[in-house]
Each structure stands twice: as structure tokens, then as C-alpha cells.
Copies of this chain bind each other. A is one copy, B any other.
Amino acid sequence: MGYYTEMDITRFTREASSRIKDIVVEEYPLTVFVNSWELVTLLCSPVDLDFLVTGFLVSEGFIGSVQDIISMEINQKLGRADVKVMETADFVGKDRDRRTVTTSSARGSVFYNLKDADKLPVLSGGMPEVDYDTVIKLIDSFNEKCTVFRKTGGVHACAFALGEDIRVFHQDIGRHNAMDKVIGHCMQASLDFRSGLVMSSGRIASEMLLKAAKRGISVFVSRAAPTMMSVDIARKLNITLIGFAREDRFNVYHDAGRIK
């Protein structure tokens, strides 16, 4: 099972109806158990599930680092991830009831309240620096990686870049999952979030920006639009927010002093 599968459909046009083959995206349920407690079922693309689970647990505040993970067993056939984590203060003290239902593709059940944004530190200014050429080059690389897959009715992509290089790139039917895969991968690879920038194919809504901010990522580039709440968060936390990034142009919604 991968991102897509093929099926027969009927196409109706004014002239006729015909049987054709179509490529349809897979949607796969992964139930995550942490220390034998059923945490959540994620609906995702069945690829890079280890990174997804790691990133999800970090983003939701169940673990602070990959060292908190004692073991992770993923049974792809059953759709189960069994994770054993250290009984740290993060996990034990977690408010498992508080829910914010996001608008962003791929997530909803976030285990923290939007008010958590108030507890996030303002990101220090100035670094990393970004300039026009770097952004354009990264968008070009990002788009090239995306074209490996069909764009129509497809998957969302997310990347982490250091300097002019995309270091980590992941895709998923949900954009939150795609970012969690990137976060999980970066943490496994011990990449420094504060030195790089994150890129996303999808709209930048508040939850996506907070997810990045919690990791100390201070530059966010998207091919799509932000929401006004994201702009407010970017201003509050001193995040550089770039949207509608195209092959030769982009919009800056909050500069935060990092764009040369």
C-alpha cells in the first residue's frame, strides 16, 4: 500500500459515459497506543509511519525528545502503532481532554488548547536570514520533489530546509501529518530546527504555525495562503511568514527582520 491506488470509474460527459482507470489517493487509519493506552486514530498516507508517530507525539507534547521513546512497533497490516515512552512529566501531566478542532487538513484532535500559544516563547529575531534567491531556489526544489506524485487530488507536502538545501521532505493526504513526518524525521536526524525553515504545500492555518513555532522554527514558507490568525501569531511570536510562494515571487505577511 502506498500513496495511491488504481481503480475503474465511469466518466460522464455530454456525449457519452465511458469506463476509465483513475488514480485514487489512499486513506489509512493508524491507531496509536502509548504505554498501552489508546491515544488516537490518525487518518494518513501509509508511508513513513515511524516518522509520523514520532512527530505526532512530539507535536502533541507527549514526548520531549526521541530519547523518550523506549520502543515503537508498527504493524502496518493491522494499522497499529504501539509505542512505549518514558513516564516523563510531559506524558503524565498531559491534559488529554482539552481539544481544539482545527480547520487544517489532516488534523483536528490536537491535545492542547489554543491558549498554549500564549505560553510559547517569542522566537529570537534575525536568524535564520532568508533572501529572495534562497526562497526561489527552495520553492523550485520543493516543486520538483512534488511532481514525482500526481498533484491532482493528491497529497500535501512538507519540507525542512537548511540554507538552500531541502534536507527532509515528506508527503501525506493530511498537511498536519506531512509536517509531523518532517518533525519526526528531523528529530531522529538531530537537525537544528532553529537554523532552518519549514515549507508547506497547504494553507497556513494557526495550528500549522504553532506546530512549527513549538519546535523553534522561525521561518514558514507556503505555496498557499495564511489565515489572519496565523498572521497574528507570526507577529506575536516573531515568525517570518511567507505565502503564495511561486517560481519567481512570494508574499511576505510578516517579515520579522529576517528577509534580506
Contact = CB atoms under 8 A, between A and B. Distances in A.
A13 B248 contact: yes
B100 A29 contact: yes
Nearest to A104: B105
Q: Which of A97, A135, A253 has the most CB of B within 10 A?
A: A253
A116 B53 CA distance: 24
A255 to B, nearest CB: 7
A228 interface: yes
How many subunits of this chain does the assembly comprise?
A: 2
A242 to B, nearest CB: 9
Interface string A89-100: 000000011011
Contact of A99 (B28, B41, B132, B172): B41
Instruction: Give the size category of A's interface with B.
Output: 35 or more
- Majority DSSP secondary structure for residues of A touching B: mixed
A132 B40 contact: no
Interface in A201-256: 203, 205-207, 224-231, 243-244, 248-253, 255
Given A10-B252, A153-B244, A27 B230 contact: yes
A192 interface: no
Interface in A11-45: 11-14, 17, 22, 24-29, 39-44
A101 interface: yes
Q: Which of A107, A248, A252 has the most CB of B within 10 A?
A: A107
A96 B109 CA distance: 12
A247 to B, nearest CB: 10
B228 A103 contact: no
B101 A228 contact: no
Contacts of A100: 29, 40-41, 43, 109
A228 B43 contact: no
A136 B103 CA distance: 29
A235 to B, nearest CB: 11
A114 interface: yes
6 contacts: A5-B228, A26-B228, A103-B105, A103-B172, A106-B108, A153-B203
Given A39-B99, A109-B109, 8 more contacts: A24-B225, A27-B227, A29-B114, A29-B229, A43-B205, A103-B106, A104-B105, A154-B225
